[in-house]
Amino acid sequence: MSTAPDPGTDLARTLPGRFYHDPAIWAREQERLFGRLWVCVGRADQLDATGRYRTARVGDESVLMVRDAAGVLRAFLNVCRHRGAQLCPAAEGQTRTLQCRYHAWTYGLDGRLLRAPGLQDSATFDRGAFGLVRVALDTWEGLVWVNLAEDPPPLADQLIPQIADRLGDAARLAPYRIGTLAVGRTIEYEVRANWKVVVENFMECYHCAPMHPELVRLLPAFRSGATQEYGLGTRLTDDAEALTMSGRAPGPPFPGLAPGHERHYYGMVVRPNMLLNLLPDHVIVHTLTPLAPDRSRVTCDWLFAPEVVARPGFDPEDTVGLFDRVNRQDWDVCEWVQAGVRSRAFAAGGVYVGIERHIRGFNDWVLDQLGLSAESPAPDSPTPRA
* Average pLDDT rounded to a whole number, residues 129-148: 97
Q: What SS3 state is found at 250?
A: coil
pLDDT digits (tens, 9 = 90+) for 238-260: 999 999 999 999 999 999 998 88
Is the pLDDT at 229 greater than 50? The verdict is no
Question: Which of 172-176, 225-229, 279-283, 333-337 comes out lowest in average pLDDT?
Answer: 225-229
Q: Which helix (H) or strand (E) holds 189?
A: strand 182-191
Note the pLDDT tens digit of each residue in 287-296: 999 999 999 9
Average pLDDT over residues 47-74: 97
Rounded Cα distance between 276 and 72, Å, is: 26
Continuous segment of H or E residues that includes residue 158: helix 155-167
**What per-residue confidence (pLDDT) applies to 232?**
66
DSSP 3-state of 57: strand
Supply the mean pLDDT for the chain.
93
**Residue 255 amino acid letter:** P
pLDDT at 1: 37
Confidence of residue 344 (pLDDT cuts 50, 70, 90): very high
Q: What percentage of the chain carries pLDDT values higher than 70?
A: 94
